Structure 1
Amino acid sequence: MPEVVFPLDSSRSFTDQELVGHNRWHPDIPPAVTVRPGDVFRVHCREWFDGAIHNDDSADDVRDAPLSRVHALSGPIAVEGAEPSDLLLVDILDLGPIPQEDSGPLAGQGWGYTGIFSRTNGGGFLTDQFPDAYKAIWDFRGQTATSRHVPGVSYTGITHPGLMGTAPSADLLARWNRREGALIATDPDRNPPLALPPLPDDAILGSLSGADFDRVAAAAARTAPPRENGGNQDIKNFTRGSRVFYPVFVPGANLSVGDLHFSQGDGEITFCGAIEMGGFIDLHVDLLKGGMETYGVAENAIFLPGNVEPRYDRWLAFSGTSVTLDDEQRYLDSDLSYQRACLHAIDYLTKFGYSPEQAYLLLGSAPIEGRLSGVVDIPNSCATVYIPTGIFDFDVEPSASGPVRIDPGMGAPRSSA
């Protein structure tokens, strides 16, 4: 086993560890540990809410989820010799749930969860159609996930980190805050908000304290979106065997990682759409000196996907176009097209006995494929969502005999008002 450079004790909270991670981006958060180019090492990760979501049949914890506390990131990890303008090469060698802990109160101890977030606390891709909080618990058996809340399906997880990235420079952080602040100002009372500004409340900033903590907390960026440093990209194919190249903006690069997922569909459409878990990730790092200029990779990460995806050979695909539910035509709106494709898939699955919420949770967590299929044929873009038919315990293809009606079981818990 590689050396564990960032250990976590499951019996202690994220802020009560030997090494304390962080939940904001800022160049002045000190590295928790330093590694060298060529090193292989293990990092423990807590699920993004640090134990706030429970293995039970209530969704009140999702309704009340403390979004100001996410993400619980392990790091920063400095890489010796890294300088701005370099590319940081990171290989994902292995990852999975919390090792040797197959039961317990923390996600990753033999189980994980998927949530539909309420409109008033986070929302989601289809929040207009699904404004309330719901939850599904998934049990792990090897590489397979099943749920008492979404019966009739089981699937092999494509485990991956939802979030990994390098620290921003002071200039880059200022750009983030300026442009996201300008967006918020266009509709400051929107719910869900257009973006999340810096928030000192609940900030976790590693070893910082006192006046330095207050200064950094006032300007540090939230970790919710993906940005130039990588960040919360939620790419399901970013799994074992992946190699990623991150721009380096500060000395040491200051790599951080977290938000591990057991499985996820393209888009993580419920916002907490993956099967969230804590666990471990084994990494190898190296440097490409001057790589940002050499390869023109100055404001984005690039990566080679891993090759350990589950083998599904038959898919049922649904298309959508850029026309609203009120029959308003939009011009090449690919985001809307993907929404419509997902809604068509949800409507279809309800014909087999699932509630719309169960179908929505399934699309968020299952290894579905989302694609931009046509983006030039004015006025309609076309997006498609592919569902592997092999995840179901029954036949979901259209037939002359009509859809099988399954027992939906207890259903997905809904939060109280």
Structure 2
Amino acid sequence: MPELLYPLDSSKRFTDQKFVGHNRWHPDIPAAVTVRPGDEFRVHVREWFDGAIHNDDSADDVRNAPLSTVHCLSGPFAIEGAEPGDLLIVDILDIGPVPQEDSGPLAGQGWGYTGIFATDNGGGFLTEHFPDAYKAIWDFSGHTTTSRHVPGVKFTGIMHPGLMGTAPSAGLLSTWNAREAALIATDPERVPPLALPPEPRDAILGSLTGAEFDRVAAEAARTAPPRENGGNQDIKNLTRGSRVFYPVFVDGAKLSVGDLHFSQGDGEITFCGAIEMGGFIDLRVDLIKNGMQLYGVTENAVFMPGNEGPVYSEWLAFSGTSVTLDGEQRYLDSQLAFERACLHAIDYLTNFGYSREQAYLLLGAAPIEGRFSGVVDIPNSCATVYVPTAIFDFPITPTAAGPVRIDPGIGAPRTAR
């Protein structure tokens, strides 16, 4: 096992640990640990809400989830010799739930959760159709999972970090804040908002204190979206065996990681659409000097997917086009096409006894494949959602006999807006 360089104690809050991480992006957050090119090391990672979501049959915690506190990131890790313009190589050697703790109150201790967030508290990809808060708890057994809230399914998780990236430079941070502020200004009262501006409230900034903390808290970017530094990309294929190449914008690179997922469908469509957990990740780092110029990788991460994960060979796929539910034609709107494909899959699964919310939670958590299948044939884009049939305890493909009806169990807990 690689050396544990960033330990966390499950009995303590994120801010009470030996190493205090961070929940904002800023170049002046001090590195917590320094490593060398070629080093392999283990990192403990806190669940993104620091224990605010509970293993119970209520969605009140999802309805009231404190979005200003996320994400709980481990790091930053300074890499000796890293300079702006380099490419940082990060190999994901292993990943999993909280080690040796298969029960407890924290996600990752033998269980995880998926949430549909209320429209006025973050929303989600289909928030216009699902405005209220819902939750599903998933129990882990090795690499597989089941849920009392979505019965009839069992699948192998593709474990991955939802969020990993390097620190922005001061100039890049200023660019982020300016362009996102301009977007917010186009509709400042929108719910959910178009973007999240800097928010000093609940900021966690490593070892910073006093006036320096206040300055950085006022400038630091929220960790919600993916950006040029990687960040919250939610790519389910960044699993064991993956190699990622991150642009380096500051001395030391300042790599951070968090938001571990036991499983996720492409798109993480419910916003908290993965199976969220705390746990560990083993990493190896290296550098390509001047790699950003050598390969033209200046504003995005490049990665080689891992070669592990469930192998599904049979799928039921659903398509959608860029036409609204009201019949309005949109021009090559691929986002709308993917939305329609997801809605078609959700509506289809209700034929077997699931509620629409159970089906929505399932598509966020299970290893579905989402694809933009056609983006050139005016006026309609075509998007597709592939659902692996083997995850179900019953047949879901159409037959002349009609759909099998299952017992949907207690259903997904709901809390109204």
Task: Say yes or no: does 1:203 pair with 2:203.
Answer: yes
Alpha-carbon offset, residue 255 of structure 1: 0.1
Deviation, 1:177, is: 0.2
1:362 is paired with a residue whose SS is: helix
Q: Which residue of 2 aligns with 1:153?
A: 153
> Counterpart of 1:192?
192
**In the alignment, which residue of structure 2 is the partner of 1:75?**
75
Deviations 1:242-269 (A, max 9, x none): 0000000000000000000000000000
Distance 1:311 1:369 in 2: 12
Alignment correspondent of 2:271: 271
TM-score (norm 1): 1.00
Structure 1 counterpart of 2:244, which letter? V
SS at match of 2:41: strand
Secondary structure of the corresponding residue to residue 397 of structure 1: coil
Distance, in Å, in 1 between the alignment partners of 2:84 and 2:149 is: 48
Question: Which residue does the alignment assign to 1:336?
Answer: 336
Give the match for residue 401 of structure 1: 401
Partners of 1:394 and 1:240 lie apart in 2 by 30
Q: Is 1:124–2:107 an aligned residue pair?
A: no
> Partner of 1:44: helix, strand, or coil?
strand
What SS does the corresponding residue of 1:262 show, helix, strand or coil?
strand
- The 3-state SS of whatever aligns with 1:347 is helix
Q: Distance in 2 between matches of 1:214 and 1:12?
A: 25
Aligned to 2:361: 361
Deviation (angstroms), 1:309: 1.9
Residue ranges of structure 2 left out of the alignment (5+ in a row): none
3-state DSSP of counterpart to 1:307: coil
Superimposed CA distance per residue, residues 255-290 of structure 1 (whole angstroms, 9 cap, x where no aligned partner): 000000000000000000000000000000000000
Partners of 1:237 and 1:352 in 2: CA distance = 30
CA contact (8 A) 2:54 2:61 kept: yes
| 1:15-414 matches, cutoff 5 A | 15-414=15-414
In structure 1, C-alpha distance between the alignment counterparts of 2:89 and 2:26, rounded to whole Å: 21
Alpha-carbon distance between aligned partners in 1 of 2:185 and 2:4, rounded to the nearest angstrom:
44
Distance in 1 between the 2:338 and 2:34 partners?
Answer: 42
Report the alpha carbon displacement of residue 416 of structure 1 after superposing the two structures with TM.
4.5
CA distance in 2, matches of 1:238, 1:130: 29
- Flag as ranges the 4+ runs of structure 1 deviating above 6 A: none
Q: Is the 8 A contact 2:132 2:416 kept in 1?
A: no
Residue-by-residue CA offset, 1:35-91 (whole Å, 9 max, x unaligned)? 000000000000100000000000000000000000000000000000000000000
**Structure 2 letter corresponding to 1:11:** S
Shift of 1:329: 0.4
Task: Tell me the CA shift for residue 415 of structure 1.
Answer: 1.1
Matched to 1:262, the amino acid is F
Distance, in Å, in 1 between the alignment partners of 2:302 and 2:110 is 32
CA distance in 2, matches of 1:401, 1:244: 48
| 1:203-257 per-position Cα deviation (integer Å, ceiling 9, x unaligned) | 0000000000000000000000000000000000110000000000000000000
What count of residue pairs does the alignment treat as equivalent? 417
Tell me the TM-score normalized by structure 2: 1.00
Amino acid at match of 2:64: D
Distance 1:123 1:416, change over 3 A: closer
Q: CA deviation at 1:357?
A: 0.0
Q: What is the CA–CA distance in structure 2 between the aligned matches of 1:25 and 1:5, rounded to whole Å?
A: 21
* In structure 1, distance between residues paired with 2:275 and 2:237: 14
CA drift of 1:180 comes to: 0.2
State how far apart, in whole Å, the 2-side matches of 1:337 and 1:292 are: 34
In 1, distance between residues paired with 2:242 and 2:124?
A: 28
Q: Aligned partners of 2:171, 2:280: CA distance in 1, in Å?
A: 32
The residue identity in structure 1 corresponding to 2:164 is M
- AA paired with 1:94? D
Displacement of 1:200: 0.1
Equivalent AA in structure 2 for residue 316 of structure 1: L
Corresponding letter in the other structure for 1:10: S
- Once residues 189 and 8 of structure 1 are traced to their aligned partners in structure 2, the CA distance between those partners, rounded to angstroms, is 39
Give the Cα separation in 2 of the matches to 1:373 and 1:82. Answer: 39
Deviation at 1:310, TM superposition (A): 0.4
1-structure distance, mates of 2:277, 2:145: 12
